[in-house]
Structure 1
C-alpha cells in the first residue's frame, strides 16, 4: 500500500470517528428539558393560561417527531389537569417562532401562570422530565 492511500484511509477513519462523537453528543441533548433564561418578548398572542402553567410546542405538518411531542404532552396534560397545552404551527405563525428563537422542530416551552418562560427543550421530551418540570409550577 502506498503512503498516500494509508493517509487517506486514516483521514477518512478520523472523520468518521469525529462525526460519530458529534452525533452522540447532539443526541444526548435532544429532548432534555432545561431551565430557560427569561425572555423579554410579548407572548400575549400565544394563548397562555392565566390560571396555571402552559406547555407550548412548535410543530409543522411536515415534522415527523412533532407527533411524538404531541403524544407526550397530551399524556402529561391528562395527568396534570391544571396544565394547558398550546400547539403552534411554525408555518402558520413564523412570527411567534422568530420571537422565541425557535430554530428547529420540535421545540417545546413551559410558561408559568404569569407568562414567564421557565423551561425549553428541542426534540421529543420524556414524559417524566416534562412532568417533573411542571409539578413545581402547580404548587
Structure 2
C-alpha cells in the first residue's frame, strides 16, 4: 500500500507480536493472508476500499477480506491505535499484522503489500 499518513509495518509501539483471529475480527482468516478493513458507516472512501480489497481477495488464492465496523469494535480500534477510516491491516496466515495503511489504497499497492504476508 502506498506510503501515507499513519502507515506502519506493524501495530502501535509496544504491541509486540500481536495476532488477530476470528474472535477479534468476527470472521475467519484466509489460508495465506487476510486483508482487514476498519470502516465507519458514513465513510465514502471505505466503500471504494471495500470494492478494491474484495477484488484483490478474489484474484489471489487463499486471501480473505474482512471488514470491521470501527464503531462496533471500539475496544479493538483503541487497542490497535486506529484513528481514521479506512485503515487496512494485512495479516499473514497466522494473523500477525505485517502491513498497515490509512486511507483508500490502490489495487496495485494492495497486491504488493500482500507480498509481505505470503
Pick the TM interval, shorter chain: 0.7 to 0.9
Q: Which has the higher contact order (CA 8 A, sep 6+)?
A: 2
Q: Which has the larger radius of gyration?
A: 1
List gaps (5 residues or longer) in structure 2: none
Q: Which consecutive segments of 4 or more residues in structure 1 shift more than 2 A?
A: 32-44, 135-138
- What is aligned with 2:54? 74
Give the structure with the higher percent strand: 2
CA RMSD of aligned residues (A): 2.3
Q: TM-score, normalised by structure 1?
A: 0.69
Whole-Å separation in 2 of the counterparts to 1:80 and 1:33: 23
User: Partners of 1:68 and 1:124 in 2: how far apart?
Assistant: 7
Structure 2 length as normaliser, TM-score? 0.80
Alignment correspondent of 1:107:
87
1:106-127 deviations in Å (ceiling 9; x for gaps): 1000010111110000000110
Q: Which runs of 5+ in 1 are unaligned?
A: 1-27
Residue 89 of structure 2 is aligned to residue 89 of structure 1: no
More helix by share: 1
